[in-house]
Each structure stands twice: as C-alpha cells, then as structure tokens.
C-alpha cells in the first residue's frame, strides 16, 4: 500500500526516492529498533537513533539551512519510520520540531550556528511551548523573558517537553510583553548548558520516550537568541505546528500500517476450527475497515503536505483535519488489530500491544483532537461569515 501511496499525484520524483529509507531502516536501524522492542532505556537508544539517522543523511529532511521545510518529505519519512519503530520516528521528528522555528524564522547566522549539528545527528533538539497551566492554550503561558542590557533573562517552567534532559538546544517560547494572550510572546534558542537552565523532572509515559519538565531561573541568553522579532512568538509557534501537525498524522498512518502488517500475518497464520482466521467474513470486515482508514488518513495527510508545499501560506485547517482524522483512525485500526490477535493482543511486548500504547499520545500532543476540531470549525464559520458579507 505504501508503494501505491508514492504514486499519488502529490509527489515528485525526489519524494519517490525517499523509499530508500525503508532499506536503511531495515538494515542500519534494525539493531537499535530491536533493543527498543526488548525494553532498552529510551534515553540511551534515542541518541543513537539520532546519530544513525544523521549519518544516513535523513535528518536533512527535518531541518535545512536554506530556510525551507518540505512538508511531503517530512511526512513520508515519519510514515516510513513509524511503520517500523515509534522511537526512531520520534528521534527524527524531534530534530525537526525542535529546530523548525530556526529553519523557518531564524536568520542566516542562527541557522548556521544551530542547524548543522542537528542535521548531522551530533546535537539533539527540543521544542518548549507547553506549561502546566497552558497546554491547549499556550497564549496563557507564564514563562517570561525581560530585557537586561542586550541580554534576555528568562524565568518560568515548561512541562511535557520531549527530549528534556537529552537535548543540547531548546526552542523556548516566553512572554516578553505585558500584552495579554498571544500578542506578547517571543521565541528564543537556549543551549542546555546555559546557567539558570535545568531539567526539573522526567515524566514516565505509557509508551516510553524521553520527556520532562524544564526550569528557567534568571536564565540569561544573548540578544541573538531571539528568533524573529520580539512579539512574533505565537505566530512562529503556530506556523511550526501548521507544518508538524500533518506530520503527526503521517506518524499515525505509519503506526496504522504497522498494525495492519502484523494483523495480516496473524490472521493468515492463525487457524481456528480448521480454517484460517482471515477466511472469516467478520475478520474481513475489520481488515476492509482498517485498510480504508489507512488510505483515507494518508490522503488527508498528503493533501495537507501538498497544500503546504505547493499552495503555501497558513494551512491550519487542512493540517488540523489531517492530524485529527489520522490519529483518531489509527487508534481504531490498532484497536481492531488487538481484537484480532485475541489474548495475545494484550500480552506485554506483543507488537500490537506496543502500538496500542504508542498511538495514544498522538491524539493529545501538538494540540488535542478537540483543539483540532475547534480550529476546523472556527475557520469554517469565519469563511461562512465572510461569504455572507460579500
């Protein structure tokens, strides 16, 4: 099915060449993926995955010195990696999410300083937007930065930060003006060794990945740590999410494909009362629903990526549709896989049991499903109001 996806009109020849990643992952990443599946410490494995992806040149699709991100490449890489490993996909995605503000809004010096190490896989990146009281509503964040001479001094706490403790550099959003809500936010780059920066907690989640909270105590960064203009922070964060939300959808598609791969193997091997499980029509009902959901989700994801790359501008509605539908449907696909595995489906370490845990957070991070619905409906209502006024 993935080969068919590559034939869709959304893609150019250079996108089809990305298929080489499948062989790279099956060879060069295989032993790390096996260690992940055997329960090795994610804090030890994730940096090795970043290094391996960097050495293979794949991180060039996560960040770029020319200031552009190709949304279709980003989605294809996430789709292919998620079909094999949640952690490899996470390792790739965070190099992009943790630097997209710099790629898209940084100046040349910032890009030259902060991106090459990330693209090579020598440095790990993180994106610090969320706070305990400001998750779905980042405009209400409390972390603040004030000017002191030429420097900025940051104070506050962030939580739910992927790669906290592993990252060498963090893109951090903080309030720089008294202006309420979204108006007063700015974006900074903070190196992990900066005095006043610390990792205040690590957080264990159902599908382990490096995650924690950050504290900024009079954390002083130079003037050139500011990305874009002062006050641009909210616009930068939302523009980054416009690109990355469809790619979360791509990750969900890859996980759903993995569930379908395992299910097809299982239902053709499992014999019940002398017949294969796959020969029962109720099984075929589930298989048909699973395959249709995967394709429908992939269509929305790659439509959003194509709109971003080819039409351009803000693409919040199509990105929200892609993330919402792909993550919700992947949850259903994986649930059906667990059901078809029977008791084995809930045994710890079984591939579909692992997927059942891995998929859950995708409906929450980078904006919950409910927030995606608010974005879609909000834009519909605004367009309707404009068309009535015309």
Ligand X SMILES: Cc1cc2nc3c(=O)[nH]c(=O)nc-3n(C[C@H](O)[C@H](O)[C@H](O)COP(=O)(O)OP(=O)(O)OC[C@H]3O[C@@H](n4cnc5c(N)ncnc54)[C@H](O)[C@@H]3O)c2cc1C
Query: Should residue 169 be labelled a site residue for ligand X when binding is judged by CB under 6 A?
Result: no
Among 44, 142, 205, 223, the residue binding ligand X under the rule CB under 6 A is 205
Polymer length in residues for the chain: 390
Query: Should residue 199 be labelled a site residue for ligand X when binding is judged by CB under 6 A?
Result: no
CA distance 307 to 320: 13
| CB 159, min distance to ligand X, A | 8
Which residue stretch of 71-79, 149-157, 189-197, 366-374 sits at the interface with ligand X (rule: CB under 6 A)? 366-374
CA distance 306 to 302: 6
Which of 328, 366, 370, 386 is an active site residue? 366
Query: Should residue 365 be labelled a site residue for ligand X when binding is judged by CB under 6 A?
Result: yes
∠ Cα 295 209 322 (to 5°): 25
Which residue stretch of 30-38, 155-163, 314-322, 348-356 sits at the interface with ligand X (rule: CB under 6 A)? 155-163
> Binding pattern to ligand X, positions 123-152, x when CB under 6 A?
----xxxx----xx----------------
CA distance 289 to 297: 12
> CB–CB of 182/175 below 8 Å?
no
> CB–CB of 259/132 below 8 Å?
no
The residues, ordered by sequence, that sit 6+ positions from 256 with a Cβ below 8 Å of its Cβ are: 290, 293, 294, 297, 326, 329, 330, 333, 334
Token output for 215? 């504290």
| CB 131, min distance to ligand X, A | 8
Query: Should residue 371 be labelled a site residue for ligand X when binding is judged by CB under 6 A?
Result: yes
Query: Should residue 114 be labelled a site residue for ligand X when binding is judged by CB under 6 A?
Result: no
In terms of CB distance, is 339 or 369 closer to ligand X? Answer: 369
The residue number whose beta carbon is nearest to ligand X equals: 135
In terms of CB distance, is 287 or 371 closer to ligand X? Answer: 371
Confirm whether 366 is a catalytic residue: yes
| Secondary structure of residue 221 in the 3-state scheme | strand
Neighbours of 295 (CB within 10 A): 15
> CB–CB of 233/173 below 8 Å?
yes
CA distance 210 to 361: 13
Among 12, 17, 26, 370, the residue binding ligand X under the rule CB under 6 A is 370
In terms of CB distance, is 11 or 90 closer to ligand X? Answer: 90
Which pairs count as long-range contacts for 289-292, CB under 8 Å and 24+ apart, including other chains?
A: 289/332, 289/333, 289/336, 290/256, 290/259, 290/260, 290/263, 290/333, 290/336, 290/337, 291/1, 291/260
| CB 237, min distance to ligand X, A | 9
| CB 160, min distance to ligand X, A | 3
Among 36, 324, 367, 372, the residue binding ligand X under the rule CB under 6 A is 367
Query: Should residue 162 be labelled a site residue for ligand X when binding is judged by CB under 6 A?
Result: yes
| CB 264, min distance to ligand X, A | 29
Query: Should residue 161 be labelled a site residue for ligand X when binding is judged by CB under 6 A?
Result: yes
In terms of CB distance, is 98 or 106 closer to ligand X? Answer: 98
Query: Should residue 239 be labelled a site residue for ligand X when binding is judged by CB under 6 A?
Result: no
CA distance 276 to 90: 36
In terms of CB distance, is 219 or 267 closer to ligand X? Answer: 219
Contact set with ligand X (CB under 6 A): 127-130, 135-136, 160-162, 205, 211, 361, 364-368, 370-371
Catalytic site residues? 366
């Amino acid at each position: 099915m993935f080969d068919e996806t590559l034939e869709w009109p959304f893609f150019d020849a250079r996108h089809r060449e990305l298929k080489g990643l499948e062989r790279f992952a099956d060879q060069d990443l295989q032993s790390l993926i096996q260690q992940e599946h055997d329960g090795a410490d994610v804090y030890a494995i994730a940096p090795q995955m970043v290094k391996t992806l960097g050495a293979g040149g794949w991180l060039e699709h996560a960040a770029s010195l020319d200031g552009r991100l190709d949304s279709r490449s980003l989605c294809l890489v996430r789709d292919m990696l998620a079909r094999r490993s949640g952690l490899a996909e996470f390792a790739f995605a965070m190099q992009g999410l943790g630097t997209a503000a710099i790629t898209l809004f940084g100046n040349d010096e910032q890009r030259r300083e902060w991106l090459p190490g990330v693209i090579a896989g020598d440095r790990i990146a993180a994106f610090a937007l969320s706070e305990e009281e400001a998750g779905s509503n980042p405009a209400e964040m409390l972390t603040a930065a004030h000017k002191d001479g030429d420097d900025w001094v940051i104070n506050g706490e962030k939580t739910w930060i992927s790669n906290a403790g592993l990252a060498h550099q963090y893109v951090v959003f903080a309030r720089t003006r008294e202006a309420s809500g979204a108006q007063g936010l700015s974006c900074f780059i903070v190196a992990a060794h900066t005095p006043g920066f610390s990792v205040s907690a690590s957080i264990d989640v159902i599908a382990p990945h490096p995650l924690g909270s950050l504290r900024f105590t009079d954390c002083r960064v130079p003037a050139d740590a500011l990305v874009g203009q002062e006050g641009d922070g909210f616009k930068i964060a939302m523009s980054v999410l416009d690109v990355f939300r469809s790619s979360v959808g791509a990750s969900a598609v890859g996980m759903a494909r993995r569930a379908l791969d395992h299910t097809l193997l299982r239902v053709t091997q499992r014999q019940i009362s002398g017949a294969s499980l796959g020969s029962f029509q109720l099984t075929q009902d589930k298989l048909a629903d699973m395959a249709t959901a995967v394709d429908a989700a992939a269509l929305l994801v790659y439509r959003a990526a194509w709109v971003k790359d080819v039409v351009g501008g803000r693409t919040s509605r199509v990105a929200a549709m892609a993330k919402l539908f792909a993550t919700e449907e992947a949850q259903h696909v994986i649930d059906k896989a667990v059901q078809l595995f029977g008791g084995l489906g809930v045994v710890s370490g079984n591939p579909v049991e692992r997927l059942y845990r891995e998929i859950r957070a995708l409906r929450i991070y980078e904006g919950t499903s409910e927030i995606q619905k608010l974005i879609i409906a909000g834009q519909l209502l605004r367009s309707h109001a404009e068309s009535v006024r015309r």
